Structure 1
């Protein structure tokens, strides 16, 4: 008796399910449709750049914050530079000494100048003595040998003066060269020290700060991202769709930050090269009217309108099975040629007409 009740209950349940299940039907209709290319992408500012460290070291100060507006040459960060500061002091001390040595009052040059003055005095005396011996020789008061000795003494003092003058000039040139080299050393140390103070290039807004005070930063590592100018949209377009996209086309933009609102934009640039990283072509667009609040890096989805067509035969996309078949009311499976489609509608180019009744395929 219990088994019979169970069987009867199962039969009634089955009949109830059959009676409640209704087969969904539809037929093709004609609609005006807009062909569009679906893309994803993100927002960025027109001119964005990274500020990176030119040297490695610990950050002793980083006064900037996200959202802060910078002017040209604003301080971004300072990297500890105690060793380099000492090296600059040493270079400046060397330059100061070499500058003093190259001046006319340096002890080395003063000593040489004193020797030159003495040699000039000796030349003057030996010239007078030689001239006197020449007069005496005309009077036969001195021998020819004495005259020749006076002449040799005069020539020797002249040669000594020339040698001292050349030595002075060589020493002065060497000291000047040392001064120039030490000046270059100071400039080099100053340039190195400049790398420890990082500043902005032009005005802009701080978009990201990647480091904190006290952190170690390596050479070439990013410290901050700066942006300026208007916002632009970067869209990733597949190889199959890029030929359909043209400059000037409109796009419907859905931002993740505005889930209940769409915006319009215009295609302004198509980058010519395929992006290997993204495995897509990159297209740039600009808002027709920029949203009140926009954030660089916001993810988005876009439908780029490529054409408009009137009186196109379409059916609900859910009535397509295996990509190209529909099921007629008599359970006939018929292959159709489809065109453009989205999640809601699929264009039918051939295979059925508006008179055919279709049933929705079972999942």
Structure 2
């Protein structure tokens, strides 16, 4: 019985060995590329945001409309903003210098009266001094006149200071109120959301009566005809990407078809969260119709060799060796590689037979 079991095991072992896959290195074209994924974007595509929050009152465009820079996209309810603007105008009018002319005129009268009294007290003091020099009058009378003159001088100067202070205060309040009015008017204008570019409305993201805030986009706008490809490349591969490299693109919208593009721009800043870089590419052979945010997968071609000795990548052992059909483990030097095959620079010929590792 033991002999029979051993015999069966030997047959199975020989059978497995006989079924082990074999191949020969072959000479063919090999293309080395870097995988990337991304989306289709219209040129100058941007999301429109509102500068203020509020309820959508009117939507002035629809998807597919061609618009110019500065055209209104939608209006928000601005009742509160208009009331604030009116209050700001009332405050500006009330604080203006012209509206406070009576206060300034009253202080001018005070200055004139203080000046007249000062001049009168100066005249009386001069007379008292002349009398004192002639031996007429008392020292107390002279001191009283000097004190009255000093007080009138101080009163005159104080009146001028009050006038200047009031004038400066009114000027400040007038300018401040005017600025508040300008800010209020500007805010009122923000309730009409306008486009920053000329182009095509690809999406309106809000409906009438919906609430709008400053963090959520309300529309998507971009060029009417021009499109670019925005790709994400892993940081491991970014050093191999160069401007001008050819790209082969596939899209779910055009299954089975391949389109060509070329690398136009490499964004030098890495996305710290995804550990990837953004690549912009231009179509060489674009599809007949494109829309923003279509997804795409791409192969960025790094190198191409028309005649290369290649083997399947899964025949390579530890990235350095292959196993010959004679059970010899041979070291090889590799070159270009794609997702299925790898170039052999030395160590094998097309006559060698290699087996796939188990």
TM-score normalised by length of structure 2: 0.70
Question: Are 2:93 and 1:96 aligned?
Answer: yes
Deviations 1:191-225 (A, max 9, x none): 44344333233434333221122101223121122
Report if aligned partners of 1:40, 1:236 keep a CA contact under 8 Å in 2: yes
Mapped pair 1:78 → 2:75:
yes
Aligned to 1:254: 250
CA distance in 2 between counterparts of 1:167 and 1:36 reads 82
Q: CA RMSD in A?
A: 4.2
Superposed counterparts of 1:192-211, under 5 Å: 192-211=187-206
1:60-79 matched pairs, under 5 angstroms: 60-79=57-76
Alignment partner of 1:120 is 2:115: yes
For the Cα contact (< 8 Å) 2:243–2:266, is it kept in 1? yes
1:270 positional shift:
3.6
Please report how far the alpha carbon of residue 80 of structure 1 lies from its aligned counterpart in structure 2 after TM superposition.
1.9
Is 1:186 equivalent to 2:181 in the alignment?
Answer: yes
Instruction: Confirm or deny that 1:268 pairs with 2:264.
Output: yes
Structure 2: tracts of 5 or more residues without a match = 1-21, 317-324
Displacement after TM superposition at 1:134 (Å):
5.2
**Worse-superposed segment, 241-250 or 72-81:** 241-250
| Partner SS for 1:214 | coil
Distance 1:293 1:125 in 2: 96
Partner residue, 2:18: none
Match of 1:283 among 272, 279, 285: 279
1:175 to 159, 170, 174: 170
Aligned CA distance change for structure 1 residues 284 and 136 (closer, same or farther; 3 Å): closer
How far off is 1:93 after superposition? 0.9
Cα distance in 2 for partners of 1:193, 1:335 equals: 80
CA distance in structure 2 between the partners assigned to 1:238 and 1:162 by the alignment: 78
For 1:35, the equivalent position in structure 2 comes to 32
The one of 304, 309, 312 equivalent to 2:305 is 309
Does structure 2 retain, via aligned residues, the 8 Å contact 1:324–1:335? no
Q: How many residues are paired up?
A: 323
Q: Secondary structure of the equivalent of 1:222?
A: coil
Are the counterparts in 1 of residues 201 and 222 from structure 2 also a CA contact under 8 Å? yes
Note closer, same or farther for the CA distance 1:134–1:355 as it changes in structure 2 (3 Å cut): closer
Higher mean alpha-carbon deviation, 213-222 vs 54-63, is at: 54-63
What CA deviation, in whole Å up to 9, does each residue of 1:144-201 have, x standing for no partner?
6655555544444333322222222222223223223323332343344344333233
8 A Cα contact 2:30 2:343, kept in partner: no
